Amino acid sequence: MVKPLWGLLTDVLPVAGYRRRPYFILAGLIGFSISGFVVHAIGAQGALGLLTIPSALVILSGTLLKEVHIPNFPYGQAHKKFVEASGKMLTALKCPGVWRPCVYMYVSLALSVDIQEGMFFWYTDRSAGLSFHEGFIGFMFAIGSVGSLVGVILYQNILKDHSFRSLLFSSQLLLSLAGMLDLILVLRLNLKMGIPDFYFAVIDEGVSKMINRIKWMPLLVL
């Protein structure tokens, strides 16, 4: 809901004569403010600088972005342009090639069961969990990001010429199978296979993120 609205605002309502740069800077400032309040509330002072880096990069991107300046924009017609753009967006959504992927994405997200918060608690629990320390959790998530990047590379170089239907079906099936890796880890079946917990957790995170990225790439590039 927010992304289409954000896109419409940047298209029909320039700020100070620019359509992109002010919105980049505004998003960065909002992210900076929110991250500062959250970190202060939880007391993790050392993480404040890390959380502000993405916001600073967004502000920098908005400042360096090259864009045509619009000095005399008729702001009185902004409402009319917004209505016209909304109508065009609704017309586009009526096309089967647009609404069908949207329905698929909605159903896929709505029916997906996310247990990451529960797994995170179990990873770090010292009584009944795996007692992973914070440094290893960060390393594991970094491997997940690498797996996501590998998924993008695989799609770009190998899978982009496959049909959407076969690719979505295959990736959804593989993602369902990858979800069983969490069950194997929780039941400690990996130890019976001779794989230590920290190795298996890293493999689980990397493989799951890679397959999930492959699943969404055909829809993201539409």
- Confidence category of residue 3, pLDDT binned at 50, 70, 90: low
Instruction: Look at residues 175, 115, 138 and name the one whose alpha carbon lies nearest to residue 46.
Output: 138
DSSP 129-154: S----HHHHHHHHHHHHHHHHHHHHH
pTM of the full structure:
0.60
Report which residue type is found at 179: G
- What are the two backbone dihedrals, phi and then psi, of residue 15, each rounded to the nearest 5 degrees? -115, 125
* Residue 15: strand, helix, or coil: strand
Domain ranges in the chain? 2-89, 96-220
What span, in angstroms and rounded, lies between the C-alpha atoms of 17 and 23? 12
Mean pLDDT, rounded, for 169-183: 87
What span, in angstroms and rounded, lies between the C-alpha atoms of 139 and 11? 39
Q: What are 184-207's pLDDT values in tens digits?
A: 888 889 899 999 988 998 898 889
Residue-wise over 129-141: b if at least 16 C-beta within 10 A, else e? Answer: ebebeeebeeebe
Report pLDDT for 67. Answer: 77
What span, in angstroms and rounded, lies between the C-alpha atoms of 38 and 51? 10
- Confidence category of residue 34, pLDDT binned at 50, 70, 90: low
The residue ranking higher by pLDDT, 222 or 141, is 141
> Which token pair is 40?
């202060």
Query: In this model, does residue 47 exceed pLDDT 70?
Result: no
DSSP 207-219: HHHHHHHHHHHHH
- Confidence category of residue 89, pLDDT binned at 50, 70, 90: confident
